[in-house]
Structures are given as C-alpha cells and as structure tokens.
C-alpha cells in the first residue's frame, strides 16, 4: 500500500506539473496572439484612415495638407474595414458615445455594455492607443484595444474599440486540458490497479514465507518454505530454509548424543548393579571384587562425562583461542609429553617450523589423543613416531604407529561418537577420542587425515594455513599477530 501510494503521489504530481506547465505556456501564447491581433487591427485601421483622408489614427492630431475629412467619416471607414473574427467585437465611439458598429455579424456586442463603453471613453481622453483587460458580468473576460481617431480641425473625438473574448479563444485549450485531465485520472486509476495487482503478485511469496514460518514450531521444524523463482524473496526463503536445516541438524545431533550417552551409561550402571546384587556381604573377597568393579566402572563413567564435556566444547568451536604459535616449540612440547608414556619407543621424526595461528592447548589435546590411541592400539615395545610437517598450504600434526591399523570400511565409523572397532579389541575406551580430535581440527578449519594398513596407522590433524595466518617467527616472538606470508619450509 505504501509503495503504491508513494508511486501514485509522485505520478500525480508529475502529471499535474506536466499538464500545468503545458496549459500555462499555451495560454500565454494565446493571450500574446490576441494582443498581436489587436495591434494588427490598429495597424489596419491606421492604413485605412490615412488612405482615405490623411486622418491620423493612434496619434495626436496633425493638420493634413489634403482635403479635410471629419472624424466620423474616418471612423466609419475604419469600422467598415474591420472584420471581427471568432469571439471578437468592435465599436466606434464619438465623444464617448457609440456612433458606429461594423456592418457584419459579431460574436460580442460591446455597445450593449454601457459600463464598458464609459470605461473605454474615459481611458482614451488622453489620445493614446491603449491595450487593456476588462472583466465584467455582461461581456465576460475581454482583451481590448482602444484607438483614438482624430481629424484635425474637427472637434469631435472618435475612438475605435476592438475587443476579443479571451474565454472563447481559450475554449479549445480548456477543452484539450479537460481531456488531458480525464486521461491523466484514467491513467492513474490504471496505474493503481496494475500496481496493486503486481505488488500483490510480487509480495505473495513473502506472505507464503510468513505463513510457512508461523507454522514451523520448536516442536516441529521439519517443514520447509516453498522456494519458487530466483528473486530476492526466494533468496530469503532459501536462507531461512538453510537456517532451519542447520537448526534441525543440530537438534538431531543433540538428540543422538543424548541417546548415545544414555546407552553408554547404561552398561556401567548395569554392571555395577549386577555385581552389587550378587554380592555376598559376608565374603570379604567378594566385597573387594565388587568394589574394584564398581570403582572401575565409575572411573569409566567419569571419563565418559569428561569426554562428552570436551566434545561439546570442541564441537562448538567458539572456545578456540587462536594465537601465533611456533610450530617447532609445539612439536617439541607434545613429543616431550608423549615420550614419558611407557611401553613404546618414541621418535620425533620431523618438525615443520614457522609460526601458525592456532589454539595451542586444543591442538595439544587433540595430538595427545592421537598419541594415546597409537600407544593403546599398537603392540607394546613398538615404535611410535610423531612429527609436524607442511603440505599444500597446511600444517600437519601427525602420529604414526605400527599397530594393526584400521580395518577397511571402519575409517568413517571410528570418527563417529562412540564408534569403535571390534569394541576396541578389548582395550578400554569411550569411542569419543577421535570425534574430539575431529571437532578440534574442524574448529581450526581443518580435518583429520588417516592412512592405515595392517602395518600401522598414520593419523594427522591437518590445519590449513591461509596465507594471512602465517607470520614470520620474529613477529610471533614480539607477540604480534601479523599477516606476512612465510615461505613453506
């Protein structure tokens, strides 16, 4: 409504302005032509008057050398030559009284308005040609010229008056303008109608979006807004649908997590409960065994709760605190922590060098998780290698072991929550380690790469290094987060 109203207001103003300007210019032109015509009449009268007798028209009387003539004679001759056109009238006055009228039919009869005659007679006593305007109820709106007609030595004072009815002359223009007004009003009405229809059609998708959006409730967000076409409104619908997809996805993920957690907690609870039920309180050995089982299971539950907390935190990504980190220092740090784990021989194979923008605590956590897995799932005494390297604009923090590897087909499952291979092959674990590593890598815009064979596995956290994420070590040492590109080493 508002858009339409503003368009109509502007269109109305535009049409009115165009029409008004056109009307008044035309009108000015017509009025000017009326004056020209009246002055031409004066010229014609002058020629006629001079021609017959040397009478002077439109000027102070002079003494003609030729045969004298009377004022009346001159006036009569002049009037005889006047041919009034459409909406015109003429009259000859002698000493302020109507003395002659043209012998042809006229559309206006000046002689019928004594007031007009009196006004013109009074005005012309000074003997000047005068162009004037008269508005009266009897004659309407007139433009007239009064021309003194004088003959020397004749005391009589003649005046030729020619008048034009301005309204009659403007009649055509007025009619045209009335037509224009009608057409303009019609055009505005059509504009309003078409505008209303088009606006309704354009905005109807928006109405559908609103209706669909109001049907989508927190309980059921499966409905999607229908997207038709490629206009802005469809873009809005598409964006809303994408948003709903994300909300839906995260709702589902939350629900799955709850299901998984419930399932995972059920097992230790059942085990502890079974042991307590079968427990013989009189048998100290039985009590001790049940106690050990209960503590074990409770520890497992505590680990599980910690892992779930860690996973939730990593998955949100918001908790990342990126800073310029010296990759060599980070590598040495993690290696130092890994190498104290017993049961394996540890080797630092490679260090990438340079500086990267990342959250060192999170990367350390993820990397140590890979270290822990390598230690868990490879034979005791075997070598575990770790290192950092640069490849294709990314830095990799990797761990390589000599374990049995990941069986083909299980590569995806192990990254899912609680996903384990053969229930961890008898090795304790929650199945949440790799999902946490994955969430941390993805929080850094990266991924976890896996290369595995029966001779061992290589897990790597791949963190891409956009050119402006890499700054020279000197700047990092000064605590500056800069944007200088450093050549890959």
Provide CB contacts within 8 A for 334, sequence distance 6+. Answer: 364, 367, 368, 371, 386, 397
Distance CA 365, CA 368 (A): 5
Closest to ligand ADP by CB, 120 vs 371, is 371
Nearer to ligand ADP, 100 or 377 (CB): 377
H or E stretch covering 37: helix 2-53
366 binds ligand ADP (CB under 6 A): no
Minimum distance of ligand ADP from residue 359's CB (angstroms): 20
The stretch among 225-233, 241-249, 333-341, 414-422 that binds ligand ADP (CB under 6 A) is 414-422
Distance, in Å, from the CA atom of 185 to the CA atom of 202, rounded to the nearest integer, reads 25
Residues 6 or more apart whose CB falls under 8 angstroms from that of 73 comprise: 52, 53, 55, 151
- Does the protein bind ligand ADP through residue 89 (CB under 6 A)? no
Candidates 414, 465, 470, 476: give the one binding ligand ADP (CB under 6 A). Answer: 414
Identify which range of 146-154, 216-224, 326-334, 419-427 contacts ligand ADP by CB under 6 A.
Answer: 419-427
Interacting positions 380-409 with ligand ADP (CB under 6 A): 401, 403, 405-406
Determine what percent of the chain falls in helix, strand and coil, rounding each to the nearest 5: 55, 15, 30
Angle, CA of 245, 249 and 254, to the nearest 5°: 150
Residues in the interface with ligand ADP (CB under 6 A) total: 19
Looking at the Cβ atoms of 157 and 398, the one nearer to ligand ADP is 398
User: Which residue lies nearer to ligand ADP by CB, 58 or 433?
Assistant: 433
State the Cα–Cα distance between residues 170 and 172, nearest whole angstrom.
Answer: 6
Q: Smallest distance, Å, CB 341 to ligand ADP? A: 13
- Calpha distance 481→475 (Å, rounded): 7
Q: How many CA atoms lie within 13 A of 446 on its CB side?
A: 26
Q: Which is nearer to ligand ADP, 223 or 422 (CB)?
A: 422
Q: Which of 15, 94, 338, 374 binds ligand ADP (CB under 6 A)?
A: 374
Residue with Cβ nearer ligand ADP (148 or 429):
429
Enumerate the H helices of 216-326 as residue ranges.
232-278, 284-316
Question: Which is closer to ligand ADP, CB of 428 or CB of 485?
Answer: 428
Distance of CA 320 to the CA centre of its chain: 34
Question: Is residue 429 a contact residue for ligand ADP (CB under 6 A)?
Answer: yes
d(CA 173, CA 153): 48
Nearer to ligand ADP, 363 or 414 (CB): 414
CA–CA gap between residue 401 and residue 382 (Å, rounded): 8
Shortest gap between Cβ of 450 and ligand ADP (angstroms)? 9
Residue 185 token pair: 């009003």
Among 433, 440, 448, 463, binds ligand ADP (CB under 6 A): 433
Query: What does the chain come to in residues?
Result: 489
- Taking a C-beta distance cutoff of 8 angstroms, is the pair 143, 166 a contact? yes
Q: Rounded to whole angstroms, how far apart are CA atoms 116 and 141? A: 12
268 touches ligand ADP (CB under 6 A): no
- For the bound state, the minimum distance from the C-beta of residue 414 to ligand ADP, rounded and expressed in Å, comes to 3
Of 192, 421, 481, 488, the one binding ligand ADP (CB under 6 A) is: 421
**Given the rule CB under 6 A, which residues bind ligand ADP?**
373-374, 377, 401, 403, 405-406, 414, 419-421, 424, 429-434, 457
């Amino acid at each position: 409504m508002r858009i339409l109203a503003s368009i109509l207001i502007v269109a109305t103003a535009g049409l009115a302005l165009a029409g008004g300007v056109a009307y008044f210019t035309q009108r000015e032109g017509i009025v000017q032509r009326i004056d020209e015509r009246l002055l031409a009449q004066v010229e014609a009268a002058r020629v006629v008057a001079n021609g017959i007798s040397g009478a002077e028209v439109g000027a102070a009387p002079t003494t003609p050398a030729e045969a004298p003539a009377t004022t009346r004679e001159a006036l009569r001759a002049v009037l005889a030559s006047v041919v009034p056109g459409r909406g015109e009238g003429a009259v000859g006055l002698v000493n302020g009284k109507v003395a002659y009228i043209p012998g042809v039919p006229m559309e206006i009869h000046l002689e019928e308005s004594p007031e007009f005659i009196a006004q013109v007679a009074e005005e012309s006593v000074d003997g000047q040609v005068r162009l004037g305007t008269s508005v009266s109820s009897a004659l309407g709106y007139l433009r007239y010229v009064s021309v003194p007609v004088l003959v020397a030595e004749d005391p009589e004072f003649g005046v030729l008056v020619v008048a034009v009815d301005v309204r009659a002359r403007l009649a055509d223009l007025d009619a045209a303008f009335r037509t224009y007004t009608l057409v303009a009003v019609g055009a505005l009405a059509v504009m309003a109608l078409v505008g209303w229809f088009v606006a309704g059609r354009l905005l109807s998708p928006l109405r559908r979006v609103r209706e669909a959006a109001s049907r989508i409730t927190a309980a059921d967000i499966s409905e999607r807004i229908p997207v038709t076409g490629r206009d802005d409104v469809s873009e809005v619908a598409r964006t809303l649908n994408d948003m709903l997809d994300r909300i839906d996805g995260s709702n589902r993920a939350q629900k799955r997590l709850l299901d998984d957690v419930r399932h995972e907690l059920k097992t230790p609870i059942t085990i502890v409960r079974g042991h307590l039920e079968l427990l013989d309180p009189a048998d100290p050995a039985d009590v001790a065994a049940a106690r050990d089982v209960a503590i074990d299971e409770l520890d497992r539950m505590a680990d599980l709760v910690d892992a779930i907390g860690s996973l939730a935190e990593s998955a949100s990504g918001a908790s990342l605190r990126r800073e310029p980190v010296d990759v060599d220092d980070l590598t040495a740090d993690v290696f130092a922590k890994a190498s104290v784990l017993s049961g394996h021989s540890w080797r630092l194979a490679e260090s990438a060098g340079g500086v990267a923008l990342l959250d060192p605590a999170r990367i350390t956590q993820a990397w140590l998780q890979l270290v822990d897995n390598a230690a868990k799932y490879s034979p005791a005494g075997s070598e575990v290698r770790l290192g950092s390297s640069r490849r294709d604009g990314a830095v990799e923090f990797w761990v390589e072991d000599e374990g049995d590897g990941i069986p083909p087909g299980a590569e995806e499952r192990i990254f899912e929550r609680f996903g384990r291979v053969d229930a961890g092959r008898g090795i304790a674990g929650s199945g949440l380690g790799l999902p946490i590593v994955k969430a941390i890598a993805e929080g850094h815009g990266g991924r976890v790469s896996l290369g595995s064979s029966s001779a061992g596995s290589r897990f790597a956290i791949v963190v891409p290094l956009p050119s402006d994420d890499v700054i020279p070590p000197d700047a990092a040492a000064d605590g500056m987060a800069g944007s200088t590109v450093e050549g890959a080493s």
